[in-house]
Amino acid sequence: MPRPDTGSGGRMKKLFQLLLARRLAGTPIGMAAILLGWFLARRKRRRRAYQAERETERVGRRYGATSFAATRGGRSRASSPR
């Protein structure tokens, strides 16, 4: 999900990243730094997507057929004898 635009701050950051990448791309060490940063960012994005997917599964499962009320035959706590 893309982040909402927070004014010119997001655009300035992107511009700075572009200028820095262009500057670093001119040297072999800079290219290695860009590649390392790309791999780390990719890993971070994948981890966030996986965690968001897992969170969606947990929330959906909470109200599904395996919920507490469904496993007790649909009886609520108020109607169960104590």
- pLDDT tens-digit map of 28-56: 999 999 999 999 999 999 999 888 888 88
Residue 74 DSSP code: T
Residue 29 corresponds to which tokens in the numbers above? 């060490």
Which range among 2-6, 28-32, 36-40, 69-73 shows the weakest confidence by mean pLDDT? 69-73
Residue pair 76/69 in contact by the 8 Å Cβ criterion: yes
Across the chain, what does the average pLDDT equal? Answer: 77
User: Does residue 9 carry a pLDDT above 90?
Assistant: no
Where are the chain's structural domains?
28-58
Q: Determine what percent of the chain is predicted with pLDDT higher than 70.
A: 62
Report pLDDT for 46: 92
Residue 76 corresponds to which tokens in the numbers above? 């609520």
Report pLDDT for 80: 55
